[in-house]
């Protein structure tokens, strides 16, 4: 169990209010028809799945229902940073 | 049509070199007279050799089964199993031990049915009691859609030669008197599918049985040896770096479940896998009260009673990626709500322990078995939430894949390239995978 600070509601709320929405920063290819099967398969299915800091998307389902990004350690479940869609995660020191 | 070796062939191939002391009533009596002081250790604790023909990374059920069948069926004994902790300490010891084969798709049902047939003779095969108990696996339907899916799956199973029955509410109530089958329930039980040959087994015994039998064939089992790197040379694997030094290998076979992505990254690969905690819990021991396995995707729980009396209860996976071997309390709460809804009599039962295993989930909820772009590097992973039941079958087909460097016919549909070709074997939900 952990709590997430929603960047829109600006409140620290229980994990149960949120829904996980997968790995962040996987842009949809601009011209899918120009990709090979392998490239398209990689876009659809391949994930970094790290043991450690992971950049992922969450949505505040029971709150403002908006999407945002989280940098979370998948081993300790510590939340290292919360940042908006379109932004890149801050440097680790800043996040602390 | 898939064709594969018959079970009788798998039993008689190879022979026991006689180093292993057989367990029997006679040996028990003999040892009893000597106060049980001189039992042979179940497997050796050898020092790692400089190099092996095949290094298997991961000493869980699947890895040990792979080693066993490599030695027994294919005569490949220059094999090491490298394990960072203790045998069966990962997902083999962190599941709910359900064994069944009632999957929907042809590819997966053939694979799991092959495995179930191996389970049926496994204790004799390994000379180790794995306590396989085919007590029947019940899968409940709570609405019209559930029942249609169940009927479809029962029909698909029967066409594939897998035993499956469709039960009415009255049949279910007769089979499980403790279950609340009231029509006034919020999620009434409208019927169920039953696979009578399905059941449960003893998880530790599976790892120990395969370890002892593999060791007897000359396989080196290296515990407390963590792989820290995969050494590659010109696109081919050369061996693994471990906490006990470099171990060379012609082929490296990774059977590391939730940590497969970590191993893949060591070789510069990425897999279509996400690792998530799947948790389960056991209660205090009770008198016998439940003699089938009960599963329900509708209310999302599964429960069976182990031979020593505790209820073994399974929960869902956490919704997010994680490597911490523990689960969320919200998932436990949800699961126990479902259990109490189905079995009001269990509401006062106290829970003893809970644990989480890290399951490796593929987009189509099916495993990845076979080669990778790195020559000599093989993966057997992606079994996700249902790997325990596949243990012997997975080891068997992976051993053949390694020995002949071509996929076993049953493993062929589960190659890594299906994520490029799009030939996914969609088993999410469809096969009654209550996680």
Q: How far apart are CA B227 and CA B245, in angstroms?
A: 9
Comparing CB atoms, the residue among B270, B328, B422 nearest residue A1 is B328
Confidence band for B427, pLDDT divided at 50, 70 and 90: confident
pLDDT at B435 over 60: no
B324 and A75 in contact by Cβ < 8 A? yes
Find, in chain A, the residue whose alpha carbon is nearest to that of B333.
Answer: A16
Q: Considering only CA atoms, which of B285, B288, B290, B287 is closest in space to residue B310?
A: B285
| pLDDT tens digits, A83-95 | 999 998 887 554 4
Domain locations along chain A: 3-95
pLDDT at B1 over 80: no
Give me the sign of the Cα torsion angle A49, A50, A55, A61: positive
Smallest CA–CA distance, residue A45 to chain B, in Å, is 5
Q: Considering only CA atoms, which of B165, B203, B269, B267 is closest in space to residue B62?
A: B203
Token readout for B257 is 């479940």
pLDDT of the residue at B3:
46
Comparing CB atoms, the residue among A1, A45, A50 nearest residue B419 is A45
| pLDDT tens digits, B77-94 | 999 999 999 999 999 999
pTM listed for this prediction: 0.93
Q: Would an 8 Å CB–CB cutoff place A38 in contact with chain B?
A: yes
Token readout for B176 is 């499980």
ipTM over 0.85: yes
pLDDT of the residue at B412:
97
Average model confidence (pLDDT) for chain A?
Answer: 92
Residue pair B366/B37 in contact (Cβ under 8 Å)? The answer is no
CATH placement of domain A3-95? 3.30.2270.10
Give me the sign of the Cα torsion angle B241, B243, B248, B254: negative
SS3 A11: strand
Q: Considering only CA atoms, which of B217, B46, B42 is closest in space to residue B129?
A: B42
Q: How far apart are CA B327 and CA B304, in angstroms?
A: 20
pLDDT at B130 over 80: yes
Token readout for B282 is 């056991």
* Residue whose tokens read 């801050």: A90
pLDDT of the residue at A1:
81
pLDDT of the residue at B429:
63
Alpha carbon B228 to chain centroid, angstroms: 25
| pLDDT tens digits, A40-83 | 999 999 999 999 999 999 999 999 999 999 999 999 999 999 99
């Amino acid at each position: 169990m952990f709590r997430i600070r929603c960047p829109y509601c600006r409140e620290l709320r229980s994990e149960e209010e949120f829904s996980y929405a997968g790995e962040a920063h996987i842009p949809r290819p601009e011209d899918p028809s120009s990709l090979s099967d392998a490239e398209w398969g990689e876009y659809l299915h391949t994930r970094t799945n790290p043991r450690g800091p992971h950049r992922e998307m969450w949505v505040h389902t029971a709150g403002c229902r908006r999407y945002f990004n989280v940098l979370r350690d998948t081993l300790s479940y510590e939340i290292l940073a919360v940042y908006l869609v379109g932004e890149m995660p801050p440097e680790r020191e800043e996040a602390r | 049509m898939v064709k594969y070796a018959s079970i009788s062939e798998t039993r008689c191939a190879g022979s026991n070199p006689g180093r292993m002391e057989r367990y029997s009533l006679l040996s028990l009596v003999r040892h009893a007279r000597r106060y049980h002081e001189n039992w042979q250790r179940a497997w050796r604790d050898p020092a790692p050799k400089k190099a092996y023909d095949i290094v298997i990374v991961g000493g869980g059920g699947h890895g040990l089964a792979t080693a066993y069948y490599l030695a027994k069926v294919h005569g490949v004994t220059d094999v090491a199993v490298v394990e960072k902790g203790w045998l069966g300490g990962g997902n083999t010891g962190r599941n709910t031990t359900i064994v069944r084969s009632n999957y929907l798709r042809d590819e997966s049902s053939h694979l799991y049915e092959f495995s179930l047939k191996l389970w049926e003779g496994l204790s004799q095969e390994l000379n180790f009691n794995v306590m396989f108990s085919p007590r029947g696996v019940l899968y409940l339907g709570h609405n019209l859609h559930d029942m249609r899916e169940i009927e479809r799956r029962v029909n698909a199973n029967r066409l594939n030669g897998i035993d499956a029955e469709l039960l009415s509410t009255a049949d279910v109530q007769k089979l499980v008197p403790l279950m609340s089958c009231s029509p006034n329930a919020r999620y009434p039980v409208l019927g169920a599918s039953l696979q009578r040959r399905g059941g449960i087994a003893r998880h530790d015994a599976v790892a120990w049985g395969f370890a002892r039998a593999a060791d007897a064939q000359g396989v080196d089992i290296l515990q407390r040896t963590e792989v820290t790197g995969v050494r590659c040379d010109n696109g081919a694997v050369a061996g693994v770096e471990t906490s006990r030094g470099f171990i060379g290998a012609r082929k490296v076979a990774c059977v590391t479940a939730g940590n497969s992505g970590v191993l893949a990254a060591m070789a510069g690969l990425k897999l279509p896998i996400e690792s998530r905690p799947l948790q389960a819990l056991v209660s205090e021991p009770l008198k016998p009260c439940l003699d089938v396995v009960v599963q329900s995707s509708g209310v999302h729980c599964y429960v069976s009673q182990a031979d020593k009396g505790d209820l073994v209860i399974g929960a869902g996976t956490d919704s997010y990626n994680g490597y911490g071997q523990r689960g969320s309390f919200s998932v436990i709460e949800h699961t126990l709500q479902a259990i109490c809804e189905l079995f009001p009599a269990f509401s006062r039962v106290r829970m003893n322990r809970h644990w989480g295993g890290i399951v490796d989930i593929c987009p189509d909820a099916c495993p990845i078995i076979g080669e990778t772009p790195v020559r000599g590097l093989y993966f057997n992973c992606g079994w996700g939430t249902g790997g325990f039941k596949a243990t012997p079958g997975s080891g068997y087909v992976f051993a053949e894949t390694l020995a002949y460097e071509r996929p076993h016919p049953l493993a062929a549909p589960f190659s890594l390239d299906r994520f490029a070709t799009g030939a996914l074997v969609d088993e999410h939900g469809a096969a009654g995978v209550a996680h």
